[in-house]
Amino acid sequence: MLNSRTDISKQAKWLLQEDPDYLLAYPSNLSALARYFLEKGYLLNNIREIRSFGEALGDSVRNICRQAWNVGIVDGYTTQEVGIIAIQCPDHEENYHVQSENCLVEVVDDQGVPCRPGEIGRILVTSLHNFAMPLIRYEIGDYAEVGLSCPCGRGLPVLKKILGRVRNMLILPNGEKKWPSLAYSQYADIAPIQQFQVIQKSLESIEMRLVVNELLNKEQEQGLAKVIANSLGYPFQVSFTYMDEIPRSSSNKFEEFMSEIA
């Protein structure tokens, strides 16, 4: 094991020495490693599978890991309070099977009504085997999208997406809340960005934190601000902050979008 706070270059050197068959890490850490391996032309010769946990996993991370190591990612949804809640279907990676033998999972809207397939709501968990301290309809703080029954035939409840916490929701000036689309696939056409984080500072303003080799010029900043405004669906005022490293949370997790509006 190696602490994920270790510098990416040192992580890469360690992985090349270990040459593992399996790699387990946060999605944000996997993304940074994959970019570094592609940049340096490094390979992991024995890698058979990558597993992720602890953060929301996006398609961009899956794609860059396939580019770097030619293997897919198997994701899991876990919490400290309950343990494993759902795991990725072996046959359909877009579906997560709730581990019903371990916990009862409900996804409800703001009025407490159960969500239907395609709807997003709050996750409530009831632990079935925690006899020391029962948790009944415990609100984890995460949001998820309910999925249809999986074609694999396992019969377990399905979560389509695990979206994150309420602080990861965008709040529009009219009071509407929604899950932000950041259109990160378009950034590379504007400038080589190593890492980014978008922070909603107010109902009208967005801060974009960037890690880059060279500062963006005005034209690049304007292009990036336009992409952000279009993807978020509102002409926010976008400011840019350049950093050597974007800090993680105390648990070493990374969030691409956060709202600082209470």
H-helix or E-strand containing 95? none
pLDDT band at 250; cut points 50, 70, 90: low
Task: Give the pLDDT confidence score for residue 262 in this predicted structure.
Answer: 63
Residues 204-243 as b or e (16 or more Cβ within 10 Å = b):
eebbbbbebeeebeeebbebbbebbeeebebebebebeee
pLDDT band at 252; cut points 50, 70, 90: low
Task: Give the pLDDT confidence score for residue 10 in this predicted structure.
Answer: 93
Convert the pLDDT of each residue in 17-61 to its tens digit. Answer: 999 999 999 988 898 899 899 999 999 999 999 999 888 888 888
- Residue 78 or 4, more confident: 78
Listed in order, strand segments (DSSP E) in 147-183 are 158-165, 170-171, 177-178
Convert the pLDDT of each residue in 96-115 to its tens digit. Answer: 999 999 999 999 998 999 99
Convert the pLDDT of each residue in 111-166 to its tens digit. Answer: 999 999 999 999 999 999 888 888 999 998 889 999 999 999 999 999 998 887 77
Task: Give the pLDDT confidence score for residue 180 in this predicted structure.
Answer: 81
pLDDT band at 85; cut points 50, 70, 90: very high
pTM listed for this prediction: 0.75
Whose tokens are 């991370």? That residue is 61
Beta strands 103-108 and 170-171: pairing type?
unpaired
Its sign, for the CA torsion 64, 67, 68, 72, is positive
Its sign, for the CA torsion 163, 166, 167, 172, is positive
H-helix or E-strand containing 58? none
Task: Give the pLDDT confidence score for residue 185 in this predicted structure.
Answer: 76
